[in-house]
Amino acid sequence: MNEGTESTIGPVAAAPGNPDIDHGNARQTQDGGVCADLPERALDRRELRTLVDTLAASPDQWEHEVDFPEDGGRHYASLYRDAYVDVWLLCWRPEDDTGWHDHDVSSGAVHVVRGALLECNPRIGGEHLETVVPEGRSFSFGPDHIHRLTGATHGSVSIHAYSPPLWRLGQYSIDGTGVMRRVSVSYADELRPLDDMAPPADEAVARSDGAAALADEAVA
Ligand SMILES: [Fe+2]
């Protein structure tokens, strides 16, 4: 989901590039903890949710990674990664915003272990769906899921699991006319809102007109 200052071996809903991340197929953690007994195959949504729920009940495996840097940067920590699943701990403040994104081919699950997260799902032509996920609750999603996450309260913490492990994500912008665009990003890129980067509506129309003119020339 990658999303902030990195710790240990990498991030979630997305993280800044980290040359120390080993992307080999071997299981990476010191002792896999509750991940040690996972099947050597991709996990489905139910299994991912069970995994984050189990981890949430085992704070000894993630509590030491919780941090809220004084410089205000985001903080995340890779808890586990192998060829089939990756697991992250994310720390949230209300100003932390992933922007709209999908998880490419991965399914995922999230368990809020402290505070609360706000999950939004885009609704074309209407008000976006907003759901507050409080401490102690979890949810899962498939590759078809598009959302954005922010901290609903300062000091929120969540555990995320993805399978297959994240490599690429789709990051979306929605411009002032409601036009949605997707760009593929690396999981090592920090997710952020792209809406402000979408071209203004009149510029988009102008570019569209230009493209149409070029197309006319091409067939003429
Ligand atoms: Fe996400």
pLDDT of residue 206: 53
Q: Are 100 and 174 in contact (CB under 8 A)?
A: yes
pLDDT of residue 198: 55
Residues with CB under 5 A from ligand 1 (ion): 1, 13
Q: How far is the CA of 58 from the centre of ligand 1 (A)?
A: 23
Q: How far is the CA of 121 from the centre of ligand 1 (A)?
A: 11
Q: How far is the CA of 93 from the centre of ligand 1 (A)?
A: 16
Enter the pTM of the model: 0.79
pLDDT of residue 25: 34
Q: How far is the CA of 71 from the centre of ligand 1 (A)?
A: 24
End-to-end Cα distance, the chain: 47
Buried b or exposed e, range 148-176, using 16+ CB within 10 angstroms: bbbbbbeebbbbbbbbbbbebbebbbbbe
Distance of CA 7 to the CA centre of its chain: 16
**Gap between the Cα atoms of 158 and 208, Å rounded:** 42
Give the residue ranges of the chain where pLDDT is below 70.
1-32, 196-220
Q: How far is the CA of 30 from the centre of ligand 1 (A)?
A: 26
Q: How far is the CA of 91 from the centre of ligand 1 (A)?
A: 14
Q: Are 9 and 82 in contact (CB under 8 A)?
A: no
Buried b or exposed e, range 106-136, using 16+ CB within 10 angstroms: bbbbbbbbbbbbbbbeeeeeeeeeeeebebe
Q: How far is the CA of 155 from the centre of ligand 1 (A)?
A: 19
Q: How far is the CA of 59 from the centre of ligand 1 (A)?
A: 22
Give 52-71 pLDDT, tens digit per residue.
999 999 999 999 999 999 88
